[in-house]
Structure 1
Amino acid sequence: MTLFDLSQNSIWLNFLLFSLFAVGVWYAGSKLSLYVDLIADRTGIGQAFAGALLLGGATSLPELATTISASASGAAELAGNNLLGGVAMQIAVLAGMDVICLRNRPLTFFSPKSALILQGIFLILMLSLVSMILVSGELITWAGIGLWPVMLSVMYGFGLWSFHRYEGDPRWEPAGELEQPPESSRDLKDVHQAEYQSVSTRGIILWFSLAACGVLFCGYLVARTGEVLAEQTGLGQSLIGATLVALATSLPEVSTTWSAIRFGAYSMAVANILGTNVLEVVLFLPADIAYRDGSIIEAMDPSASFLAALGIVLTSIYLWGILERRDRTILGMGYDSALILLFYLGGMGLYYTLSI
């Protein structure tokens, strides 16, 4: 058995290794939200911005590892579909957390930050561009790097600047009931604050960096295993990338979102997912750099634009829930979360018929 020459292993052993690496991603990711919440409180940078930049960036490391590894080995569809499939899956993660962590109370009711709506609209803009790009193809390439991925990265920098500026000076504030629910989550946050009171901010940043490295290492191994499983199962790069690998590399988002909601950082939990999803789109640039057989946009099947469109639909539903802010549930979750899960499952089923 080897860790890096996984093609020599049996399919069942690779499934076992895939699961073990995924657990490693989960454990390291579960620590990230705690450290970022402490950093946000001590530095005053704001939960939404910290969630989008620090937490979103750190939890995107498995996607980065997957993207570079798959692209460098020529698996362009696995890399691209992992990114776009992860966007839709992570919005579904928010809906799932609504059921698990806040039964009978919609998560969107407790995250009424206008900065989150700005992030969501920017994500829709980025996904719309990707959908157009995948259909139109690459226009200009230089040294094997296309113009479109570079443009998306430049737009991401502008988006981060806008998020930071807007959260410090929001143009409007929500009205209505309390932002935070009267639950024990605030007590749990106080326990965490007391536990790390003696730890310096520099020490917390160090622990955050170590947890991020753990996410990156385990995420790389998840990517390698998923690539081999795509070959061994015969399901193909498109479907494996959009489902199995996207699920495994989304585990940091699942664990950090779960942890953030548990100790009451609701806006950070939502910003983590939205920030990660925006960064997913930007990762087309490192994918293009690592892919040496031409432009990765040209190598992807145009049907991948369906995944981008699905991400737009799910994000729109979630933003609707934040704006409407109705304290109504169905089957223990908000109406918006129920719609998201329904559209996600139906959309992935339809995408399966497109990829076979």
Structure 2
Amino acid sequence: MILEVIFLVLGLVLLVVGSDLLLRSSIDLSLKYNVSKLVIGLTIVSFATSAPELLISISSVLKNSSDIAISNVIGSNIANIGLVFSIALLFVTINIKKENIKYDFPWLIIVSLLFIWFLQDSQIDRFEGVVFTSVLVLFIIFSFKVRANESEDLDDLSTSNMSLSKIFIYLALSSILLYSGSELFVESSIFFANYFGVSERVIGLTMVAIGTSLPELATTLVAINKKELDISIGNIIGSNIFNILAVIGITSIIRTLSIKSSEILSFDIYVMFAFSAVLGVFFFFPRKYKMYSIHGLFLLSAFLLYYFTLL
């Protein structure tokens, strides 16, 4: 039991460190080849921050634990809004960029509805995975076009001073850390599910989902300190879109995701959509383009209530 706890924590640490190392080395490599900051922000950063969810989902489905793979994404999307973003709102009032509402939020709703539709037959097959990844490409192209004149979110990036050989060493190391971390984390999660007699669905929605949301939480806390919360909602919306399109898409191409727990289809997926929909309402109420601590308190309370239903 103690050894499994150590493996669980170690796996999570390896995932977080590996994700951060992948992000930094990928950005350095892109800058070496003069890739624009916009492309870095829309692709590399998004993929790197979704790496823990992706590796855990792939590892889970290969171990015939599809419920962990699916509930990991659903739970992570819920936690990003109900936990990470709500905590940010408790500290500061956030000004919402109009671009987040005009461009990103409609994509989140459409992608979430597509996810619900595909899950109606209790599985996500390879064809649907291809559809998700194709939509992901369209989303990136669309985002690139509508943000062709935007680059302020990555203005702190300059040319890379890291040697090419060092970059590739870091990339290889990050891959090893991510793979090892996902294996340890998934194996430990399955152990605890069996040990405590809870379903893989509950483990995926709680332990795994919160674990993979820690990088977003850390980033948000740093943003609070730097008073840069105006871009945090965009990052969270983008992360939730990538979780569905990239994580579910790529994982289901590798192997069909077959759902065992009926609660995922009848309850959890709709809770995920409800959090996204409520977020859209809060964009305009009580004041347009501003969100306050009362919003954060509501989201956090709803999140805790949802977790209470899982007990």
Equivalent in the alignment of 1:252: 215
Structure 1 residues 267 and 164: alpha-carbon distance in aligned structure 2, compared to 1, 3 A threshold: farther
CA deviation map 1:326-349 (0-9, x unaligned): 36x4xxxx2222222122222233
Cα distance change on mapping 1:149 and 1:290 into 2, 3 Å:
closer
Q: For 1:168, what is the secondary structure of its paired residue?
A: coil
Per-residue deviation at 1:208?
Answer: 7.8
Give the structure 2 partner of residue 341 of structure 1: 300
Equivalent of 2:103 in 97, 109, 118 = 118
Aligned-pair CA distance for 1:74: 0.9
Match of 2:199 among 236, 240, 250: 236
Q: Bigger radius of gyration, 1 or 2?
A: 1
**Cα offsets for 1:227-260 (capped at 9, x unmatched):** 2222222112110011111111222222233334
Cα 1:250/1:264, change in 2 over 3 Å: same
What do residues 28-51 of structure 1 show as CA deviations (whole Å, max 9, x unaligned)? Answer: 5567777889989x96534xx755
Amino acid at match of 1:123: L
Deviation at 1:55, TM superposition (A): 2.4
Note the C-alpha offset of 1:114: 0.5
Partner of 2:240 in structure 1? 277
Q: Does 1:94 align with 2:74?
A: no
The match for 2:142 is: 162
Contact 1:219 1:249 in 2 (8 A): no
CA RMSD of the aligned region, Å?
3.7
* More helix per residue: 2
> What residue number does 2:275 align with?
314
Q: How many Å separate the matches in 2 of 1:265 and 1:204?
A: 31
- Residue segments in structure 2 that go unaligned for 5+ positions in a row: none
For 2:89 and 2:183, locate their aligned partners in 1 and report how far apart those are by CA, in whole Å. Answer: 29
Shift of 1:75: 0.9
Q: Is the aligned partner of 1:132 residue 2:117?
A: yes
- 8 Å Cα contact 2:133-2:250 kept in structure 1: no
| 1:4-15 alignment, distance < 5 Å | 11-15=1-5
How many Å separate the matches in 2 of 1:314 and 1:36? Answer: 32
* Structure 2 residue aligned with 1:66: 56
Which range moved further: 127-136 or 312-321?
Answer: 312-321
Instruction: Give the direction of change, closer, same or farther, for the CA distance of 1:272–1:252 in structure 2 (3 Å limit).
Output: same
Q: Quote the offset at 1:197 in angstroms.
A: 7.7
From the superposition, tell whether residues 149 and 31 of structure 1 become closer, same or farther in structure 2 (CA, over 3 Å): closer
TM-score by length of 2: 0.78
The verdict on how the C-alpha distance between 1:153 and 1:33 changes in structure 2, with shifts beyond 3 A counting, is closer
Matches for 1:200-215 after TM superposition, within 5 Å: 209=171, 212-213=174-175, 214-215=177-178
Question: What letter is aligned with 2:66?
Answer: A
Moved more, 279-288 or 205-214: 205-214
Contact 1:134–1:300 (CA<8 Å) still a contact in 2?
no
Identity of aligned residues (%): 18
- Say whether 1:226 aligns with 2:226: no
CA 1:203–1:168 in structure 2 vs 1: closer, same or farther (change >3 Å)? farther
- For residues 166 and 303 of structure 2, what CA distance do their matches in structure 1 show? 37
CA pair 226-37 structure 1, distance change in 2 beyond 3 A: same
Structure 1: state its 5+ residue gaps: 1-10, 171-178, 181-188
User: Residues 43, 126 of structure 1: CA spacing in aligned structure 2 closer, same or farther, 3 A cutoff?
Assistant: same
Comparing 129-138 with 70-79, which one deviates more in the overlay?
129-138
2:161 to 199, 206, 225: 199
Secondary structure of 2:106's aligned partner: helix
Match in the other structure for 1:45: 37
Aligned amino acid, residue 275 of structure 1: G
Q: Deviation per CA, 1:117-136, whole angstroms, max 9, x where unpaired?
A: 52222122111122222224
Name the stretch that deviates more: 303-312 or 231-240: 303-312
Preserved contact between residue 76 and residue 205 of structure 2 (Cα < 8 Å): yes
> How many pairs were matched up?
300
Deviations 1:1-42 (A, max 9, x none): xxxxxxxxxx232122212332343445567777889989x9
